Amino acid sequence: MPVPESATVAAELRTAMGKLTRRVKLEDQMPLGQVAVLGALDRSGAMTTSELALDQRVRPQSMARAVGLLMEQGLITRRAHPTDGRKSLVELSAAGRRLLEETRGRRADWLAEAIEAELTGKERELLARAIGLVERLAAH
């Protein structure tokens, strides 16, 4: 079997990963943008609304609305910035952390069920080995 062209593999991998990511995110029970904000705060810690907007590549006004909604739901809290009195930091609340963990759990459960239902034992072994390759590409 001939070795496929790297450009072809890249396009097919990007498409397949995009489809899988979108499907897994259907397990979310809140708007995708709000889950993304909670995830960013979990990964990076407390941030200003402007930093969150940059991180999520949205306008500061849009992020301010998202932060307001998340605060109303008790999923994030606001505190004074330690070095700049004009700014405040937002961070995950305990409820926000629990919701994020539940969301990640639902995503992982769906994916595990799909793997079990759709793949043979040999295919699961192949997929497990391929994870290391994808990790290497992500670190490039």
**What ranges do the domains of the chain cover?**
15-139
What average pLDDT does range 121-128 have in this prediction? 96
Question: Residue 120's pLDDT is what?
Answer: 97
For residues 20 and 32, the model is more confident at 20
Tell me the per-residue pLDDT of 21-63, one tens digit each, with 9 for 90 and over: 999 988 888 888 899 999 999 999 999 999 999 999 999 999 9
Does 2.160.10.10 match the CATH number of domain 15-139? no
How much is the CA Rg of the chain, to the nearest whole Å? 19
Exposure string over 110-125, b if 16+ CB within 10 A, otherwise e: eeeeeeeeeeeeeeee
What's the distance, Cα to Cα, between the start and end of the chain in Å? 27
Q: Please state the pTM of the whole predicted model.
A: 0.80
Q: What's the chain's average pLDDT?
A: 94
How high is the pLDDT of residue 129? Answer: 95
- Look at residue 107 and tell me whether its pLDDT is greater than 90: yes
Distance CA 98, CA 101 (A): 5
